[in-house]
Amino acid sequence: MILTVTLNAALDLTYRVPRLLPHTSHRVRHSAERPGGKGVNVARVLAALGHETVVTGFAGGATGDTLRRLLAESTGPLTDALVPITGATRRTVAVVDDATGDATQLNEAGPDVTPAEWAAFDDRYGHLLRDAEAVALCGSLPPGVPVGAYAHLIRQARARQVPVLLDTSGEPLRRGIAARPDVVKPNAAELAALTGSTDPLPAALDARRRGAHAVAASLGPEGMLAITPTGTWRATPPTPLRGNPTGAGDSAVAGLLSALTEGLPWPDRLIRAVALSAATVRAPGAGEFDAGAYEELRAGVRVETL
């Protein structure tokens, strides 16, 4: 099975409005709520692809109860192994402007996690690693979780020889990458913040020198750049896309992890990741992808050797 870790899970709320204008009232055309947080989104895509997937992290309060109920309704082989906490799971709000397709995101910080709750998670994580083919460590850290948490979890996975992908930002990324994850997946802004370079290629090279075995950088509508021990590639979608980009990076992580566990070479991993990411832009919400668009887009993804 594939294990995804979401230490700061969320209940995702999406509102669609005809046009988003500051300082005015808006009539919502459509609203939806979904289980969220980066690793949860990754897990839902993996399960939809048919991969046995386990979700762990934290969930608490009424929003946590709702998240778990919605997670149980997800399609595919997905297991809930979230650790209960006293604090309430955060909410995120995406307001989608139907006129432009742009989304405005509002993210709460998350609940306070106690030392005892962190210890309970750490114990569960160690047990889940025994059956894991690969691990994704995704998203922000809630208050109370040590800033070096991802570095600690990476070292545990490496000790068991379980491939681990890290998708986070800021200081947790800086510390985590030094623990030598198999793959890091920053976006362009996170990569620039880590390295100080706004040029993705030298920035990704710098990130790899800092400890990552491979770097797969999301470049938004320009696709993905990968620097690995076996080569360097850039993959781009066949056409520009309009839609909601929320969760597109999480679908890319699902593509990379699923292809890794299937033993596919890096160019094929990138094709799957970019196609899933683009198909998610066409879908109504994070953690979902347009299956028809995915098959169409996968055939048109271009991979260039650098």
Q: Where is pLDDT greater, at 282 or 218?
A: 218
* Percentage, residues of the chain above pLDDT 90: 75
pLDDT at 305: 94
Provide the pLDDT confidence category of residue 38 given band limits of 50, 70 and 90.
very high
pLDDT in tens, 126-139: 999 999 999 999 99
At residue 287 the predicted structure's pLDDT band, cuts being 50, 70 and 90, is: low
Taking residues 60-75, report their average pLDDT.
93
Q: Is 70 exceeded by the pLDDT of residue 22? A: yes
Q: What is the pLDDT of residue 105?
A: 85
Question: In this predicted structure, what is the pLDDT of residue 303?
Answer: 94
Catalytic sites, residue numbers: 250
Provide the pLDDT confidence category of residue 298 given band limits of 50, 70 and 90.
Answer: confident
Query: For residues 166 and 183, is the Cβ–Cβ distance under 8 A?
Result: yes
Distance between CA 140 and CA 143 in Å, rounded?
A: 10
Say how far apart CA 279 and CA 296 lie, in whole Å: 9
Least confident of 73-82, 98-107, 186-195, 297-306: 98-107
- Per-residue pLDDT tens digits for 71-100: 999 888 999 999 999 999 999 988 888 888
Cα atoms in the Cβ-side hemisphere of radius 13 Å centred on 204: 27
Mean pLDDT of 95-106: 84
Determine the pLDDT at residue 296: 85
Strand order of the sheet with strand 30-36?
A: 30-36, 10-17, 90-97, 103-107
Whether residue 297 contacts residue 223, with contact meaning beta carbons closer than 8 Å, is answered with no
In the DSSP assignment, the letter for residue 220 is G
Question: 286 falls in which pLDDT band (50, 70, 90)?
Answer: low
User: If you average pLDDT over every residue of the chain, what do you get?
Assistant: 93
Higher pLDDT: 105 or 266? It is: 266
